[in-house]
Amino acid sequence: MGRGIAMAYRQAIHFLLPPACFGCGDPLSPGESQVCAGCRTRLRTPSFPQCPRCRAPQGTGVSSARPCPECREWSEALEDARSAYVLVPPADRLVHALKYGGWPEIAGFMADRMDPLLDPGERTGSWVIVPVPTAPSRERARGYNQAALLARSLAERTGLKLANILERREGGGTQVALHRHERRANVQGAFRSADGARNRLMGRSVLLVDDVLTTGSTGQAAAEALVEEAGAKRVRLITFARSLPQEGEEGR
């Protein structure tokens, strides 16, 4: 069954049967939409203290002004990163529903939870929202780019301008199951700025949007293209969830 047909089938079932929670699969109660109250309360935010650069929870319990080992060697093009939740149930199931399950409508809920990550100073016209692109073949197979859906929903909520000015080259393969150093090599040079991007972005600041942060390899590669090719002043990464080292290497 083709992905487009499968998506239509799932949407038809969703219409005919009582709607179920994207997080746990249980039927939604009257008044609930997409994610049940129980799953909403189980969404786990990164604990404190956090790394000042990537906001990773610091298991030592002691705050530090220095970046943690997770992001210490990130490219200077990527200033920092923030994530709404840790990639554990039910956050991982929401990501899966959007990315692989053919349920683009969950992007609105996820963007609502990403909105509070923005600082007041980032809600001005000097900032632009840019989604991390996926390879054209994957977008055709999936029917959409999940990061673009999140970015568009976030732009609608914040009033910031959305700029689809990055392109991803084919090749490189998926990041899943790759180790940290393999991820960085896999996405090196994977992104390029679209025609006219420099005229639209020169000297402006970018909120780079993706679904999941794992090692930061994808974010770094995208940020380098934005800074070096498109002339972005600064790039900060915003994601719905982040994967912790002890919780696997799913995502980016």
The string of pLDDT tens digits covering residues 201-238 is: 999 999 999 999 999 999 999 999 999 999 999 999 99
For residue 93, the one-letter residue type is: R
For residue 131, with 0-12 CB atoms within 10 Å meaning exposed, 13-18 middle and 19 or more buried, which class applies? buried
pLDDT-based confidence at 13, cuts 50/70/90?
low
CATH number (domain holding residue 241):
3.40.50
Q: How many domains does the chain have?
A: 1
pLDDT at 184: 62
Per-residue pLDDT at 239 exceeds 60: yes
216: left (phi over 0), alpha (psi -120 to 50) or beta: left
Q: Tell me the angle at which helices 91-99 and 146-158 cross, rounded to the nearest 10 degrees.
A: 110
The answer to whether residue 94 is domain-embedded is: yes
In this structure, the number of other CB atoms found within 10 A of the CB of residue 250 comes to 16
Query: What dihedral angle (degrees, nearest 10) is formed by the CA atoms of 55, 23, 115, 33?
Result: -160
Return mean pLDDT, the chain. 88
Q: Which of 80, 132, 142 is nearest to 251 (CA)?
A: 132
Spatial separation of the C-alpha atoms in residues 144 and 204, rounded to whole Å: 27
In this structure, the number of other CB atoms found within 10 A of the CB of residue 173 comes to 9
Q: And the tokens for 4?
A: 């487009």
The answer to whether residue 31 is domain-embedded is: no
CA triplet 132, 9, 24: central angle to 5 degrees? 65
The answer to whether residue 201 is domain-embedded is: yes
The answer to whether residue 60 is domain-embedded is: no
Q: Which of residues 10 and 104 earns the better pLDDT score? A: 104
The answer to whether residue 211 is domain-embedded is: yes
pLDDT at 58: 85
Contact predicate 150/164, CB 8 Å? no
Q: Characterize 26-47 residue by residue with b for buried, 16 or more Cβ atoms within 10 angstroms of its Cβ, and e for exposed.
A: eebeeebebbbeebeebbeebe
Instruction: Show the domain range for 207.
Output: 70-247
The answer to whether residue 46 is domain-embedded is: no
The answer to whether residue 62 is domain-embedded is: no
Q: Which of 75, 19, 36 is nearest to 222 (CA)?
A: 75
The answer to whether residue 147 is domain-embedded is: yes
